Every structure is written in structure tokens, then in C-alpha cells.
């Protein structure tokens, strides 16, 4: 277990990396004994620092829930991170690519809750019953630590991604509010276009067979600490496509068919 000072130092390194917009070596290079508990403690310390500065929690993301994402980053364990209000960007808006380190776009669905969810044994049926609506979503991720170190070739571990608040950077929600009981969600999907060319396609079934499994997973993770999901929170279930790198000048369009589009331009 890392000391409190080590946790604080690690969180400060990530904070400075984000502030300076410069990637740092993976924390596990400096803290090779970091474990899952340490990683989430670093994440919490950093998020608490942001909340103290005025940010508000609007929900959570579940990451690495699909094989597409796990294969893309060579990590086979899901993780979660905290969504903050400053991360919310409008559909059809413009985002400055230079504000982020290694920015990439992921395609997924978000669940917005109307009832609380808590417990290690939450079922898919309970998730669906507690959901007010499902909405198309794009997630902007930005790794504050190198995915692969350019000097040593070291590949970051799941502990690094967790400490990095699961690479959270932004979220763009679509306009359609989908009744979770009116559609067969595993068969809902999207096509992602980059500058008019199709880059990725996928179905929500790529997330553990059903995107609600991502919500179940985070409930199980939170339960031992007495934490649950609350009404009104936005929960990203996890990407069902590989992440697509973006840079200034890029145009992104995600076509969810009957559920509309999400568009964003990077400058």
C-alpha cells in the first residue's frame, strides 16, 4: 500500500500533466508496488482536489468493458472514473484539441437514472428499471500518462489508467432520450465518421453482451464502500468501438440511426 504522501504526490503529477498539457511516464514506473486500491485512492485524491476547486460530480464512466477497447489498450480489466460538470460539451459544438493530451473519441450509450442503484448483486433488469432514459454519447478521453513510453517502450498498466481517472476528459450527449424498455439495446449501435470517412462501427452488445452490464459492474465495485448510483446521474456504460485519435481540424460524426447523430469539431 502506498503512503498518503505517495498518493498525494502521484495525484499532483497527474494534475500538473493535465494543467501543463504534457504527458508523463506511467505512475507504475515510479510506484511499481501500486495496486488496485492505491490506484483508486490516487483517483479519489485528484477528483477531490477538483471538487474542492468548484467542480461537481455528474456521474461515472465505466471503461474497458468491451473486447474492442481491451484489445486496443492491451488491458483486460474494466475500470471506472468520475464525470465532472466541466467535462460536458454540447452536441454540434467545437472543442480545442490542444487542451488535451493524446485526445481520442469513443462511442457508447449513457444511462441516466431515475432511481438509486446499490449492491453487489444488481441485475440487468434492476438497472433497466432504475433507468430514466438512455442517450447516445461520445466520450473524449485524454491520457495524462503515456500509453506506451516513447523512451522505454513501457506499456502502462490498468493501475495507471485508474489513477488517471480512467482518462476522463469530456462527454457529448445526443438529443434522443431512449426508453430503455422500448428498444433491444444490445442491437443498438452507431457508425463513427472522421472527416467524412467511416472509421468505426459497433453494437452495444460489445459491452459485456448488454450495456447494462457495465452499470451492474460499477455497482458491484462501489458496494463494499457503501456507495451507490444516484438519481439524475449520467453513467457511461463503456465504448463499443475502438478509440479514434483526433486533432485540430478534425470533424467527428456519430450516426446512431433512429436515435440521431452527435457532431463535434476539433479546432
Domains, in order of start, for the chain: 4-266 (3.90.850.10)
19-45 residue pLDDT tens:
999 999 999 999 999 998 999 999 999
Query: Which pTM does this prediction carry?
Result: 0.91
- Model confidence over 83-126: pLDDT tens digits? 999 999 999 999 999 999 999 999 999 999 999 999 999 999 99
* 82 has a pLDDT exceeding 80: yes
User: Which grid coordinates are listed for 253?
Assistant: 460524426
d(CA 236, CA 60): 6
**Distance set, CA 234 to CA 85, 153, 166, 172, 231 (Å):** 11, 36, 16, 11, 9
Q: Is the pLDDT of residue 135 over 80?
A: yes
Contact 238, 63 (CB under 8 A): yes
Dump pLDDT digits (tens) for 60-76.
Answer: 998 755 455 445 545 55
Amino acid at each position: 500500500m502506498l503512503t498518503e504522501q505517495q498518493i498525494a504526490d502521484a495525484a499532483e503529477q497527474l494534475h500538473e500533466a493535465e494543467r501543463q498539457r504534457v504527458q508523463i511516464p506511467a505512475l507504475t514506473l515510479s510506484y511499481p508496488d501500486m495496486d488496485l486500491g492505491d490506484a483508486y485512492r490516487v483517483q479519489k485524491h485528484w477528483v477531490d482536489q477538483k471538487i474542492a476547486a468548484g467542480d461537481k460530480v455528474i456521474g461515472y464512466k465505466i471503461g474497458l468493458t468491451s473486447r474492442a477497447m481491451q484489445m486496443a489498450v492491451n488491458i483486460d480489466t474494466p475500470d471506472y472514473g468520475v464525470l465532472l460538470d466541466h467535462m460536458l460539451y454540447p452536441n454540434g459544438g467545437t472543442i480545442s484539441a490542444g487542451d488535451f493530451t493524446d485526445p481520442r473519441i469513443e462511442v457508447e450509450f449513457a444511462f441516466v437514472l431515475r432511481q438509486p442503484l446499490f449492491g453487489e448483486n444488481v441485475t440487468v433488469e434492476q438497472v433497466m428499471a432504475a433507468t430514466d432514459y438512455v442517450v447516445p454519447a461520445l466520450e473524449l478521453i485524454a491520457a495524462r500518462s503515456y500509453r506506451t513510453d516513447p523512451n522505454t517502450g513501457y506499456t502502462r498498466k490498468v493501475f495507471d489508467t485508474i489513477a488517471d481517472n480512467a482518462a476522463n476528459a469530456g462527454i457529448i450527449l445526443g438529443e434522443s432520450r431512449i426508453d430503455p424498455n422500448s428498444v433491444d439495446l444490445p442491437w443498438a449501435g452507431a457508425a463513427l465518421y472522421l472527416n467524412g470517412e467511416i472509421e468505426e462501427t459497433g453494437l452495444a452488445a460489445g459491452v459485456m453482451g448488454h450495456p447494462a452490464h457495465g452499470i451492474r459492474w460499477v455497482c458491484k465495485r462501489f458496494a463494499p464502500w457503501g456507495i451507490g448510483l444516484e438519481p439524475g446521474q449520467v453513467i457511461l456504460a463503456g465504448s463499443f468501438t475502438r478509440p479514434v485519435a483526433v486533432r485540430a481540424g478534425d470533424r467527428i460524426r456519430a450516426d446512431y440511426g433512429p436515435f440521431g447523430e452527435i457532431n463535434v469539431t476539433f479546432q
